[in-house]
């Protein structure tokens, strides 16, 4: 349903390790809490039910990299847990929409396409999509595209995820681009929200920004509920065509390498239109 197995399989790989064994023991309680919140939407009760599990996995993830399976960043045990919690929200949104969508769980969705039939894809961490075809190819048209970042969310990271959101918006401005990060936002105090100009919703996971990176904060049930309600309200008035009708990029019929092989000076300046940005 929400692919809890993506997280559980990672645990099973290290089930005998002292850092993972307590999570295996607590998993039936967590799984039951997931089933309940999917049905009743009681995020307060859910957060309370998973508190011991969440505290343990967070604590182990903060230990030196590689000191245990959870702290080994490349194995992504902790990120898979964070993404699972937001998958619950998106599944509840999915069930309330008037049109059919599928839950995204680390899937490739359509990022863009050209008039010559080329399709580009992007792996996203969560969200919703519509199954369809483009140029006789099965694709997932994104409806909600969520990126989840751990670690320090600095200006460079912010610029990168905003560029991803911009590419989705260029293809279809109706796509809802979401950025969620742990409480590690380290963007300079002098920076403005132009850094996230193409991100529709920005959420500080757990609802606490950089109070202390060494102190566990329980998950924020209020922001989970707010996210669900806002998405349902926004998407309920839309149609599937709002997301399956996309803008194709107009490109040359020749591949880029062929163009560069023919000429070492490739210019599109003549196609650039002058835009009047003077004050009205």
Instruction: Say how far apart CA 130 and CA 94 lie, in whole Å.
Output: 11
Residues 29, 35, 41, 45: what is their CA dihedral angle, to the nearest 10 degrees? -10
pTM of model > 0.85? yes
pLDDT at residue 212, as a whole number: 65
> Mean pLDDT, the chain, as a whole number?
90
**256 inside domain:** no
For 140-162, write each residue's pLDDT tens digit: 999 999 999 877 788 888 888 89
Cβ(208)–Cβ(217) below 8 Å? yes
What is the Cα Rg of the chain in Å?
A: 21
> Is residue 275's pLDDT more than 70?
no
**274 inside domain:** no
**264 inside domain:** no
For 24-77, write each residue's pLDDT tens digit: 999 999 999 999 999 999 999 999 999 999 999 999 999 998 899 999 888 899
Tokens (6 digits) for 17: 């390790």
Residue with tokens 């999509």: 129
Helix (H), strand (E) at residue 131:
strand 126-134
Cβ contacts of 179 within 8 Å, gap of 6 or more: 146, 147, 149, 161, 165, 196, 199, 201, 202, 203
**275 inside domain:** no
Between 195 and 218, the more confident residue is 218
**140 inside domain:** yes
pLDDT confidence band for 230 (50 / 70 / 90): very high
Instruction: Say how far apart CA 25 and CA 116 lie, in whole Å.
Output: 53
**What crossing angle do the helices spanning 51-61 and 77-96 adopt, rounded to 10°?**
140
Cβ(46)–Cβ(221) below 8 Å? yes
pLDDT confidence band for 211 (50 / 70 / 90): low
Looking at residue 205, what DSSP letter applies?
Answer: G
**63 inside domain:** yes
What is the percent of the chain where pLDDT is above 70?
95
Structural domains of the chain, count: 1
**263 inside domain:** no
Beta bridge partners, 134, equal 137
pLDDT confidence band for 210 (50 / 70 / 90): low
pLDDT confidence band for 183 (50 / 70 / 90): low
Cβ(68)–Cβ(11) below 8 Å? no
Residue range(s) defining the domain that contains residue 123: 5-251
Q: Give the mean model confidence (pLDDT) for residues 223-237.
A: 97
For 198, how many CA atoms within 13 A lie in the half-sphere containing its CB? 18
Instruction: Say how far apart CA 224 and CA 85 lie, in whole Å.
Output: 9
> Is residue 257's pLDDT more than 80?
yes
Long-range contacts of 204-210 (CB under 8 A, 24+ apart): 204/180, 205/82, 205/148, 205/180, 205/181, 206/182, 208/183, 209/183, 209/185, 210/183, 210/184, 210/185, 210/186
Q: Give the mean model confidence (pLDDT) for residues 78-100.
A: 96
**81 inside domain:** yes
pLDDT confidence band for 279 (50 / 70 / 90): low
pLDDT confidence band for 278 (50 / 70 / 90): low
């Amino acid at each position: 349903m929400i692919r809890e197995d993506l997280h559980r399989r990672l645990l099973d790989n290290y089930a005998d390790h002292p850092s993972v064994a307590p999570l295996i023991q607590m998993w039936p309680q967590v799984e039951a809490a997931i089933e309940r919140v999917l049905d009743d939407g009681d995020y307060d009760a859910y957060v309370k039910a998973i508190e011991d599990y969440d505290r343990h996995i967070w604590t182990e993830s903060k230990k030196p990299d590689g000191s245990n399976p959870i702290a080994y960043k490349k194995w992504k045990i902790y990120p898979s847990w964070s993404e699972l919690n937001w998958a619950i929200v998106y599944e509840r949104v999915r069930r309330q929409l008037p049109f059919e969508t599928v839950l995204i769980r680390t899937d490739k969705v359509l990022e863009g396409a050209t008039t010559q039939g080329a399709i580009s894809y992007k792996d996203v961490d969560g969200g919703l999509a519509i199954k369809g075809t483009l140029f006789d190819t099965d694709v997932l048209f994104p409806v909600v595209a969520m990126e989840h970042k751990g670690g320090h969310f600095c200006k460079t990271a912010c610029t990168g995820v905003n560029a991803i959101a911009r590419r989705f918006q260029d293809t279809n401005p109706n796509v809802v681009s979401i950025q969620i990060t742990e409480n590690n936002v380290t963007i300079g105090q002098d920076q403005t929200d132009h850094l996230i100009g193409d991100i529709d919703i920005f959420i500080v996971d757990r609802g606490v920004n950089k109070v202390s990176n060494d102190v566990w904060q329980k998950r924020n049930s209020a922001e989970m509920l707010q996210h669900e309600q806002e998405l349902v309200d926004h998407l309920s008035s839309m149609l599937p065509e709002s997301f399956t009708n996309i803008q194709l990029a107009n490109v040359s019929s020749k591949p880029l390498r062929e163009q560069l092989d023919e000429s070492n000076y490739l210019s599109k300046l003549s196609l650039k239109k002058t835009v009047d940005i003077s004050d009205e």
